[in-house]
Structure 1
Amino acid sequence: MKGAEMRMRSKYRKSTSLVCNGCNRCTLTIVVWSLMGCLLLLHFYSLVRQKKSFGELHLHVSHNSLSHELEVVEEENIQIPPPRKRSPRAAKRKPKKPTTLVDEFLDENSQLRNIFFPNERTAIDPRNGDRNETLYFHPARIWLDTEGNPIQAHGGGILYDESTQTFYWYGEYKDGPTYHAHQKGAARVDVIGVGCYSSKDLWAWKNEGIVLAAEENDETHDLHKLNVLERPKVVYNEKSGKYVMWMHIDDVNYTKAAVGVAVSDYPTGPFDYLYSKNPHGFESRDMTVFKDDDGVAYLVYSSEDNSELHIGPLKEDYLDVTNEMRRILVGQHREAPALFKYQGTYYMITSGCTGWAPNEALAHAAESIMGPWETLGNPCIGGNKVFRLTTYFAQGTFVLPLPGLPDYFIFMADRWNPADLRDSRYVWLPLKVGGAADEPFEFRFGFPLWSRVSIYWHKKWRLPYKRIE
């Protein structure tokens, strides 16, 4: 019975195969034309992408060996030139101490000047059609914007706008002559303002202009050109929809020691300057602003004659500090703080206090951003001993997390040129947290052995990203 029923069902079941050759040819034609249409669309899309300017490129992670290349240790072998001949009388009067690489770096007439500050022939130029150089960073080379002018964004930081996938780089615009306000004064440039540059790929930067300009005439204004504006940092406040800029504001003698605050509706400004103050009633010099995952932002600044750092949260609108403040790294004489977060732990890179002369960077770590903070040691790897002890002849200003690469960051630093501050260079290098733990300088039972923070020296390197073309 079951067999007969099955035969009856089979008899009236519709065939699933194509009945005729004509139908076969029809279906095949449709498939072929569909494939050709898809190929034409892809080709058209590729042409459109190629015609787009370099300022519109998007970042996409390339899963290959490039990430491993970021951790390759490169060495430097810079030979100190032979000493200049001295007269027998001068040699007898006072023996000359041996010249060091730091002396050569600070000597604007040094034979090594072109090594520390390569000339314009080696400039990083996004207008260059050589694809072999595209997206490569060359620390300390002149870096041109998309109009062919040297980038002016010193002591700065970067804001990443997720909605537009755009990076905004803010920094001191120092395109003016270097001078000394008085005989013992530090080298300086008149305040011009805060420059802003935008990019999709962190390599080709479009000049968005001066977003906070100096005051030319009013000598009582914080932004008067004879005063000091340093280390601008911008954070976005989701609740107010405002972009808030914090900066170091000082007078010509560095006695005001304050922070300044400005605000804008747009990342490209213009920013309206609001006021300056001594945060928590203390002097403030080198500073930064760090925005945590929960949206709370913190001000970190050098204080008490740069002998310690202070840290405290900002108010909800980011326009002022709260009353809460902690002293950290007391007595360590650190400045130029650059904070970042990795897997729930807070890290910070700081510099020593030696004016324009380069010195040794130190890494610090904490389980809570308000401390206590533990000192890990020098994070620099590669180059040579002098390179490591001078932070590659540069001073840190910001640590940038990389979208799509949670294990990697960019350590941003300035190679200051006190003889010509507008010709100061940018030293960007890959930073990674991980590897063997460093024992803190003052190890106390109960503190964890933090993972190592590593900044790798490269003469030439690129991010493990690829272009869409």
Structure 2
Amino acid sequence: MLSMESGFGIAWCAGEDAWISLTMIRPGELWNDGNGVPINAHGGGVLFHEGTYWWFGEHKIGGEEGNRAHVGVHVYASENLTDWRDEGIALAVDDAPGSEIPSGCILERPKVIFNARTGKFVMWFHLEPKGGGYGGARSGVAVADAVAGPYRFLHSLRPNAGVWPENVAEEWKRTLTEREEQELAALGLGGAPFPWYPREVVFRRDFEGGQMARDMTLFVDDDGCAYQVYASENNGTLHVSLLDETFTKPAGRYVRIFPGRFHEAPAVMKWGGRYWLFTSDCTGWAPNTARLSSAASMWGPWEEHGNPCLGSGAQIANSFESQPTFVLPVVGKRDAFVYMADRWRPGNAIDGRYVWLPVVFRHGLPVVEWRGAWEVEGEWDV
């Protein structure tokens, strides 16, 4: 007999004396929480804390209006990555006068990290003010005393205002002339790949007010330093930015990587003494070919390794019809990571699906191979 419960399937096999339960992850199918309700945590990330995994993500509503925030950030808890408890809304939208996170704003890709120095849980996310489209390109920050919240909104910002990136030549460390501003404005840059992208111009435009920050992730290194990695400069360039000791602000050190290559949806893991970065191209809600890059240091230099996806031709071309959001280390397992991605449904946002797959290693590279179903417990050796 076989019983399937949404994307987490439970196979019951009749043995001689007992029934045996095997819990599977089924990418792209509906995943229910312990109450039988579909999990609502899109563009998310997972924090492991004191024996439990905490999954934070965007709470969506139905229709196109679900692409904007109307509830907030949802959080779920699990000890095994398959059975998830609904722990409620970690950060709620706020319609009070002057709020920066009212209903109808854009609140995307929330990530939470723990600061051992302060004892606080810190959430960062991509924030666009209500009614402004994607022109704001800000980072929102919230904190909590407990992992599930409630989180208190602190501030929003454009990172690294008044700071030059560490890996650009001195000749480019100057603000734009009036003529350069006019020429840049005439290009009409949005967020999509642009054939004549001015690689040494956009970050100079944003020097005083701070750098644009759209798709983003957080990464805490073994030494306790935390980094924000985000798509900047009208999505044309990625930035790697060190956070301060509280994890609530930039520390004033950052580098630009892959100027003009148009990466977004960054997700970071550390393996084999190197840092590995999964990203996507910039094609809006439509899936595209994923990219893999690596460096010996978060400060670079970074090199690209091509497409990390293994599967059929269509799956390789569109990254399993999904876009990366996070790479989760599995605690207690050797070389064990879960690649987390989203299958967006912008016409009915609440129907977005989760594509979780094990990271496997081929010829010294971490890659992602399609599986219709897989077992967390059976995937890796202890």
Displacement of 1:133 in angstroms is 6.4
Secondary structure in structure 2 of the residue aligned to 1:420: helix
Report the CA distance shift for 1:353/1:292 in structure 2 as closer, same or farther (over 3 A): same
Displacement of 1:319 in angstroms is 1.0
Secondary structure in structure 1 of the residue aligned to 2:219: strand
Displacement of 1:329 in angstroms is 1.4
CA distance in 2, matches of 1:122, 1:158: 22
Would you tell me which structure has more helix in proportion to its own residues?
1
Provide the residue aligned with 2:337 in structure 1: 409
Secondary structure in structure 1 of the residue aligned to 2:217: strand
CA distance in 2, matches of 1:202, 1:274: 30
Would you tell me which structure has more strand in proportion to its own residues?
2
Report the CA distance shift for 1:144/1:133 in structure 2 as closer, same or farther (over 3 A): farther
1:239 aligned partner, one-letter code: R
CA distance in 2, matches of 1:217, 1:237: 29
Q: 2:228 aligns with which of 277, 299, 320?
A: 299
Provide the residue aligned with 1:151 in structure 2: 39
CA distance in 2, matches of 1:387, 1:465: 24
Displacement of 1:125 in angstroms is 5.5
2:371 aligned partner, one-letter code: H
Provide the residue aligned with 1:286 in structure 2: 215
CA distance in 2, matches of 1:453, 1:125: 25
Provide the residue aligned with 1:193 in structure 2: 72
Q: Please give the residue correspondences for 1:119-158 in structure 2 after superposition, counting only pairs within 5 Å.
A: 123-124=6-7, 134-158=22-46
1:423 matches 2:351? yes
Report the CA distance shift for 1:386/1:298 in structure 2 as closer, same or farther (over 3 A): same
Provide the residue aligned with 1:266 in structure 2: 146
1:213 matches 2:92? yes
CA distance in 2, matches of 1:159, 1:210: 16
CA distance in 2, matches of 1:232, 1:132: 37
Report the CA distance shift for 1:128/1:273 in structure 2 as closer, same or farther (over 3 A): farther
1:160 matches 2:40? no
Report the CA distance shift for 1:265/1:129 in structure 2 as closer, same or farther (over 3 A): farther
Q: Please give the residue correspondences for 1:257-406 in structure 2 after superposition, counting only pairs within 5 Å.
A: 257-280=137-160, 281-382=210-311, 384-406=312-334
2:367 aligned partner, one-letter code: S
Contact 1:345–1:367 (CA<8 Å) still a contact in 2? yes
Contact 1:139–1:428 (CA<8 Å) still a contact in 2? yes
TM-score where L is the length of structure 2: 0.80
Aligned length: 320
CA distance in 2, matches of 1:137, 1:228: 30
Contact 2:24–2:375 (CA<8 Å) still a contact in 1? yes
Report the CA distance shift for 1:358/1:132 in structure 2 as closer, same or farther (over 3 A): farther
Task: Give the unaligned 5+ runs of structure 2.
Answer: 14-18, 161-209
Secondary structure in structure 2 of the residue aligned to 1:464: helix
1:245 matches 2:158? no
1:179 aligned partner, one-letter code: E
Q: Please give the residue correspondences for 1:24-173 in structure 2 after superposition, counting only pairs within 5 Å.
A: 123-124=6-7, 134-161=22-49, 164-173=50-59
CA distance in 2, matches of 1:408, 1:360: 23
CA distance in 1, matches of 2:20, 2:301: 46
1:233 aligned partner, one-letter code: K
CA deviation string 1:206-230 (max 9, x = no partner): 0000010001353x42211111100
Contact 2:227–2:243 (CA<8 Å) still a contact in 1? yes
1:203 matches 2:82? yes
Displacement of 1:408 in angstroms is 2.2
Report the CA distance shift for 1:128/1:452 in structure 2 as closer, same or farther (over 3 A): closer
Displacement of 1:255 in angstroms is 1.2
Secondary structure in structure 1 of the residue aligned to 2:350: helix
1:256 matches 2:185? no
Query: RMSD across aligned C-alpha pairs, in angstroms?
Result: 1.9
CA distance in 2, matches of 1:255, 1:367: 34
Displacement of 1:404 in angstroms is 2.2
Provide the residue aligned with 2:62 in structure 1: 177
Displacement of 1:453 in angstroms is 2.1
CA distance in 2, matches of 1:214, 1:346: 34
1:372 aligned partner, one-letter code: P
CA distance in 1, matches of 2:20, 2:107: 38
Report the CA distance shift for 1:215/1:357 in structure 2 as closer, same or farther (over 3 A): same
CA distance in 1, matches of 2:292, 2:68: 30
Report the structure number with the largest CA radius of gyration: 1
CA deviation string 1:163-193 (max 9, x = no partner): x31100000011x23236xxxxxx7244310
Report the CA distance shift for 1:133/1:250 in structure 2 as closer, same or farther (over 3 A): farther
1:268 aligned partner, one-letter code: A
2:70 aligned partner, one-letter code: V
CA deviation string 1:275-303 (max 9, x = no partner): 00000111110011100000000011101
CA deviation string 1:354-381 (max 9, x = no partner): 1110001101000010111100010111
CA distance in 2, matches of 1:406, 1:390: 29
Secondary structure in structure 1 of the residue aligned to 2:314: helix
Report the CA distance shift for 1:404/1:255 in structure 2 as closer, same or farther (over 3 A): same
Secondary structure in structure 2 of the residue aligned to 1:422: helix
Task: Give the unaligned 5+ runs of structure 1.
Answer: 1-120, 181-186, 437-450
% same residue: 40
Report the CA distance shift for 1:216/1:288 in structure 2 as closer, same or farther (over 3 A): same
CA deviation string 1:150-169 (max 9, x = no partner): 001100000001xx311000
CA distance in 1, matches of 2:281, 2:134: 18
TM-score where L is the length of structure 1: 0.66
1:231 matches 2:231? no
